[in-house]
Structure 1
Amino acid sequence: MRAVKSPNTRGLLRLVPSRPLPPPPAAPGDVLAEAEAVRVLLGGRPVLDGVDVRVRAGEVLALVGPNGAGKSTLLGALAADVPAAEGVVRVHGRPAGEWSAPELALRRAVLPQSASLSFPFPVAEVVRMGRAPWAGGEREAEDDAAVAEAMARTEVAGFAGRPFSALSGGERARVALARVLAQRAPLLLLDEPTAALDLRHQELVLRLCRERARAGDAVVVVLHDLALAAAYADRVAVLRAGRIAAEGAPAEVFDEDLLSEVYDQPVEVLPHPRTGALLVVPRREV
């Protein structure tokens, strides 16, 4: 709260809510989100069980694993959207529950698996929704530039005036990502951002993740494509049945035996013939 003079009360002071302050710039390696011994129950069933993970500024962390392993639940817990039955989730060093919703909105931006709207908002307005946390603050003046940049980076500026409801699934996914980028929060939490995209735009999204990390943000991305994770992530956490089976750099974690066991599918991990980068492919007898 802060005190201001009211023009209608002869200069008497009145209390008005203070706008939350944005976080200070993070240094490379700062922990912007972490889960410590986190257990999450959904419908009385443990979906995460004793999970520990740290999300650092300047890095892309990929969450991978089979369906039902707990990837999206872990992302939701790190976003402070899914409550933990046990353990603690911290965002910018504080337990998630100690932040207000406006404070969280300045610290983390979340891309859910699917984006839907009840009204036919134009694309540009959907992207501008990402600027809501800054309304009335000093950085509100950045709104137009932030929206324009986000739309250009995700290649959606060409249909800025079209209704969101008229877009294809892949176009909607890119608009939703543009909204997240326009928010300009230092922690990005992206749930399967490449699921509806063609090859070109899958690569575009992961390049944007790398760019945001190089600029100092922390990025967590849920992926099913292990080759994309190997190419773009600094670290990967492999989830299996609500626990982390392995965590580390892709070259350390992407082991044929481990992945074959986790996915219950034989895989091969091979060096790319030109670059030497890791390729993860199913082992096929055809």
Structure 2
Amino acid sequence: MRLLRNRPTPPAPAEPGDVLAEAEGLHVRLGARHVLDGVSVVVRAGEVLALVGPNGAGKSTLLGALAADIPAAGGVVRIHGRPAAEWSAPELALRRAVLPQSASLSFPFTVEDVVRMGRAPWAATAPDDDDRAVAEAMRQTDVVDFASRPFSALSGGERARVALARVLAQRAPLLLLDEPTAALDLKHQELVLKVCRERARAGDAVVVVLHDLGLAAAYAHRVAILRAGRVAADGAPEEVFEQALLSEVYDQAVEVFPHPRTGALLVNPERKL
């Protein structure tokens, strides 16, 4: 006799402003090191939240905790209103998609094969849904032209875009992206952040770790600035990107000023050449 297992139920569509993930008083230890110290942050549907800060500030650790991949030593992480530990792996896979800093595969999968892996949580759905999701994700990330190439033969930037396509194909309402622009050229940095805004406009919540403060200023609805495992500021870029604060956090003189033509916020290191 064949046993039937309960299939995980996809989440209901979110309304703009709904809280899809949050950390409250979060403490995380990695080995003997206290990496996050009482961090609280809220992730809402319809927003791009950028996590910025210097190396070692705890950005990737916070992202991993919000993904339920890194356990909390104190405080709580909630995903779709429930403590993260209460979700099963299949349930989580329908609710959040995670892009790590690097992607590697040991087997010669093609680009399309890798993107299609993002559809695994939806194995019970119709194949047509999978095909549409894969095709749309590949179009959004500009990888259609090398769909049949082995993933292992791609450049670092091409691999990064394919990995992002896999995440987009998963079609989870919460996207957690760790430095998605790190290996990309100028054109594709802009493309990736435009995709983030498009997903937010469609109702998803997007959390993205960024080092480029200019990209964060241009594309994030909200920014959380981390410093030494704590949130130094949280708010809209025009509210929290203050020259004095950024210069202190990064231990580097920073200039914040409006674009002379558009008035858009610009953030640059102060250079004396």
TM-score range, shorter chain: over 0.9
Deviation at 1:15, TM superposition (A): 4.2
Deviation at 1:97, TM superposition (A): 0.3
**Cα distance change on mapping 1:187 and 1:139 into 2, 3 Å:** farther
Asked if the contact 1:134/1:140 (under 8 Å) is kept, the reply is: no
Residues 121-169 of structure 1 show CA distances to partners (whole Å, capped at 9, x for unaligned) of: 0000000000000002x35530001001100110101000100000000
Instruction: Please tell me the residue identity of whatever aligns with 1:275.
Output: T
Sequence identity (%): 81
Do residues 256 (structure 1) and 256 (structure 2) align?
A: no
Take 1:15 and 1:162, find their aligned partners in 2: how far apart are those partners? 39
Worse overlay, 54-63 or 141-150 = 141-150
Q: Which residue of 2 aligns with 1:88?
A: 76
Take 1:245 and 1:139, find their aligned partners in 2: how far apart are those partners? 46
Asked if the contact 1:64/1:224 (under 8 Å) is kept, the reply is: yes
Take 2:127 and 2:86, find their aligned partners in 1: how far apart are those partners? 25
Q: Which residue of 2 aligns with 1:66?
A: 54
Take 2:76 and 2:126, find their aligned partners in 1: how far apart are those partners? 32
Q: Which residue of 1 aligns with 2:166?
A: 179
Structure 1: runs of 5 or more not aligned: 1-5, 7-13
Q: Which residue of 2 aligns with 1:191?
A: 178
Q: Which residue of 2 aligns with 1:272?
A: 259
Instruction: Please tell me the residue identity of whatever aligns with 2:260.
Output: P
Asked if the contact 1:63/1:238 (under 8 Å) is kept, the reply is: yes
Asked if the contact 1:33/1:55 (under 8 Å) is kept, the reply is: yes
Asked if the contact 1:32/1:56 (under 8 Å) is kept, the reply is: yes
Instruction: Please tell me the residue identity of whatever aligns with 1:120.
Output: P
Residues 222-251 of structure 1 show CA distances to partners (whole Å, capped at 9, x for unaligned) of: 000000000000000000000000000000
Q: Which residue of 2 aligns with 1:202?
A: 189
Q: Which residue of 1 aligns with 2:8?
A: 20
Deviation at 1:68, TM superposition (A): 0.3
Residues 27-60 of structure 1 show CA distances to partners (whole Å, capped at 9, x for unaligned) of: 0000000000000000121000000000000000
Asked if the contact 1:32/1:93 (under 8 Å) is kept, the reply is: yes
Take 2:68 and 2:34, find their aligned partners in 1: how far apart are those partners? 17
Take 2:138 and 2:262, find their aligned partners in 1: how far apart are those partners? 31
**TM-score, L = length of structure 2:** 0.99
Take 1:78 and 1:192, find their aligned partners in 2: how far apart are those partners? 15
- Given candidates 216, 219, 240, the residue that maps to 1:229 is 216
Deviation at 1:274, TM superposition (A): 1.2
Runs of 4+ in 1 over 4 A off after TM superposition: none
Structure 2: runs of 5 or more not aligned: none
- The within-5 A match list for 1:33-52 is 33-52=21-40
Asked if the contact 1:256/1:268 (under 8 Å) is kept, the reply is: yes
Do residues 135 (structure 1) and 113 (structure 2) align?
A: no
Q: Which residue of 2 aligns with 1:119?
A: 107
Choose 1 or 2 for highest CA Rg. 1
SS in structure 2 of the partner of residue 39 of structure 1:
strand
Deviation at 1:281, TM superposition (A): 0.5
Residues 195-238 of structure 1 show CA distances to partners (whole Å, capped at 9, x for unaligned) of: 00000000000000000000000000000000000000000000
SS in structure 2 of the partner of residue 147 of structure 1:
helix
- Given candidates 148, 154, 160, the residue that maps to 2:141 is 154
Q: Which residue of 2 aligns with 1:77?
A: 65
SS in structure 1 of the partner of residue 25 of structure 2:
strand
Asked if the contact 1:156/1:175 (under 8 Å) is kept, the reply is: yes
- Given candidates 148, 152, 157, the residue that maps to 1:165 is 152
**TM-score, L = length of structure 1:** 0.94
Q: Which residue of 2 aligns with 1:281?
A: 268
Take 1:255 and 1:152, find their aligned partners in 2: how far apart are those partners? 37
SS in structure 2 of the partner of residue 16 of structure 1:
coil
Asked if the contact 1:39/1:48 (under 8 Å) is kept, the reply is: yes
